[in-house]
Amino acid sequence: MAIWVDENTRVLTQGITGRNGAFHTRQCLAYGTKIVAGATPGKGGETFDGKIPVFDGVHQALKEVEAEASMIFVPAPAAADAIMEAADAGIKVIVCITEGIPVLDMVRVKRFLVDHPAILIGPNCPGIISAERSKLGIMPGYIHKRGTIGVVSRSGTLTYEAVYQLSALGFGQSTCVGMGGDPVHGVGFIDVLKAFQDDPETEGIVLIGEIGGSDEEAAAAFIKENVTKPVVAFVAGRTAPAGKRMGHAGAIIMGSSGTAAHKIETFERCGIRVAENPAVIGEAMKRALDEAKR
């Protein structure tokens, strides 16, 4: 089945006429994603590559075409408004790739989404892909193979590494969700874990966390109480110094709070297998699946 997007999902690209929006829209189309429209203010009436209609906004687009999901490639100063525009128009799954959105802008978005239910993935994320069905984002599609492993991650590049290992070992993926590492974001680990637990196609789960915040600890507790499928976790940032921001805006630790060691300890205390380094994520998943079959 996969979660949230599949081969039937109709997608609209916000910022389709920009450099990044245009490039990745073409990549998604080549993967098989059903992109039915684009939206760029002032570009209404044009077409993208001579076949996809472009509208001035999402509301205008949905008067002419049906779409359930949106990809956002809008510059950071306008990205929060783009998210809220999509939600207000009735888009159900919103994938915001844009990085550098001000934290206070995202606070406004979070409050807005309370009254406008939508699944928001991101911002500052690689997106979501249901392998060999639909890709909404910037991940390299060719490494993904259809199968039964769900992947959820705060790190884009580590997602790709885990997927490559899984595919090389013959373990395809159901859906991969790159939720991004910003401190204020859309879906979190628990949202995705719930969806994977309920998805009959997903038989195992890879969770990739990072230093900073307490999302991983909350996810570990949720897994212990609610997830019956094998889970393998990896936490990046074992050697990160306290008090320094490391890449993502959310990747900062203070004292013992948010450290990789504390997150790993929590996973292990909850009975969750932890990969020692990123090179063995695939092998760890293989062992977890083998043990589950015994």
Task: List the strands of the sheet with 273-274, edge to edge.
Answer: 134-137, 127-130, 173-178, 146-153, 204-210, 231-236, 273-274
- Catalytic-residue membership of 248: yes
Strand 127-130 to strand 10-14: parallel, antiparallel, or no bridges (unpaired)? unpaired
Cβ atoms within 10 Å, residue 32: 12
Question: b/e map of 249-277 (b: 16 or more CB within 10 Å)?
Answer: bbbbbeeeebbbebbbebbeebebbbbee
* Identified catalytic residue from 144, 185, 248, 262: 248
Write the CA distances from 28 to 79, 129, 148, 178, integer angstroms. Answer: 20, 10, 22, 16
Task: Select from 178, 177, 182 the least CA-distant residue to 195.
Answer: 177
Which residues form the catalytic set? Answer: 248
